[in-house]
């Protein structure tokens, strides 16, 4: 009975917080199907007109495509740079490694607007305001600390004896990295990918400074749209994003269940033999 009390207290504290966080999302979904010409809850009728408004508007599609392109590119750069930096800091004794780590974590500490002003001042001199790669590099600066934290944690939990055993069996550094290190780091890499993409996708302040007239991502487009228009198109876009997140969570749960079942079947097969 005593062991059930902390569990009940946990549920008692977490359920209200969860409901508080999810309640706005419950309102957004019905509003996206509203027949009204402005944001109104409860909606007076049912209509798909705001989804049609999103898919038929070229500016919305262009902003969505740009956000996806920037997010994917930021993921590739942050994972590549973060993995190399993590290996250097965890596997080699480099001078001033602690100072370097603190400097790499600076974007997590300094307010985003301060970083945006600093980046903007540099981009003005380089004449890359509004360019695709300018946005990508700026977003990579913000996403890189998350990648380094997650990948460094994964490398620290990975025993170096596994790599040494691979070397003793005749594998080179590249083969060991591909066949031993990367598979062991798969959960950390997946987490770093998600954090890097979300950081890039959700960033508005940086794009406000360096996006110019051409570099308008979807979050910035939504922010600017709310300043001039108040109709359920925003609700339709938000509902689509919520649906993608829910789909991703479901797929991750199914993948985790499939991997666990596969491992249990392999273990059962070994015991039978």
The pLDDT tens digits of the residues spanning 154-197 come to 888 777 777 667 777 777 777 777 777 777 788 888 888 888 88
Whether residues 93 and 118 fall in one domain: yes
Whether residues 188 and 210 fall in one domain: yes
DSSP-assigned states of every residue in 81-108: HHHHHHHHHHHS--TTHHHHHHHHTHHH
Residues in the chain: 273
* 40 Cβ neighbours under 8 A, 6+ residues apart: 31, 34
Residue 49 lies in a domain: no
Whether residues 250 and 132 fall in one domain: no
Say if residue 240 is exposed, middle or buried (CB neighbours under 10 Å; 0-12, 13-18, 19+).
Answer: middle
The domain tally of the chain equals 2
How many angstroms separate the CA atoms of 192 and 149, rounded? 8
Mean of all residue pLDDT scores within the chain: 79
Whether residues 223 and 153 fall in one domain: yes
CATH number at residue 217: 1.10.3720.10
pLDDT string in tens for the chain (273-residue length): 445 667 777 777 778 887 887 777 778 888 778 777 777 777 777 878 888 888 888 888 888 888 889 889 999 999 998 888 888 888 777 677 677 777 777 787 888 888 888 888 888 888 888 788 888 888 888 888 888 888 888 888 777 777 667 777 777 777 777 777 777 788 888 888 888 888 888 888 888 888 777 778 888 888 887 777 777 778 888 888 888 878 877 877 787 777 777 767 665 555 555
Give residue 273's pLDDT: 56
Q: Which two tokens stand for residue 147?
A: 């990648």
C-beta neighbour count of 201 within 10 angstroms: 17
- Residue numbers of the domain that contains 248: 234-273
Whether residues 160 and 242 fall in one domain: no
Whether residues 273 and 143 fall in one domain: no
Residue 203 lies in a domain: yes
Residue 21 lies in a domain: no
């Amino acid at each position: 009975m005593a062991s059930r009390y902390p569990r009940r207290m946990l549920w008692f504290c977490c359920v209200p917080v969860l409901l508080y966080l999810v309640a706005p999302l419950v309102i957004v979904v019905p509003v996206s199907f509203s027949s009204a010409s402005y944001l109104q809850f409860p909606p007076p009728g049912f209509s798909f007109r705001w989804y049609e408004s999103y898919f038929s508007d070229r500016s919305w599609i262009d902003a969505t495509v740009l956000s996806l392109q920037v997010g994917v590119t930021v993921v590739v750069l942050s994972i590549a740079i973060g993995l190399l930096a993590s290996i250097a800091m965890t596997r080699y004794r480099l001078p001033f490694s602690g100072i370097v780590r603190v400097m790499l974590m600076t974007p997590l500490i300094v307010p985003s607007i301060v970083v945006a002003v600093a980046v903007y001042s540099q981009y003005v001199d380089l004449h890359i305001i509004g360019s695709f790669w300018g946005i990508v590099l700026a977003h990579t600066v913000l996403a890189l600390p998350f990648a380094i934290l997650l990948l460094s944690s994964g490398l620290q939990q990975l025993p170096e004896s596994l790599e040494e055993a691979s070397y003793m069996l005749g594998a080179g550094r590249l083969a060991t990295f591909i066949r031993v290190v990367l598979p062991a780091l798969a959960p950390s890499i997946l987490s770093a990918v998600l954090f890097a993409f979300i950081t890039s996708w959700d960033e508005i302040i940086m794009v406000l400074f360096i996006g110019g007239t051409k570099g308008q991502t979807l979050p910035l487009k939504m922010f600017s749209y709310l300043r001039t228009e108040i109709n359920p198109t925003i609700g339709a876009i938000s509902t689509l994003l919520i649906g993608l997140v829910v789909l991703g969570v479901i797929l991750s749960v199914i993948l985790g269940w499939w991997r666990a079942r596969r491992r249990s079947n392999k273990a059962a097969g070994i015991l039978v033999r």
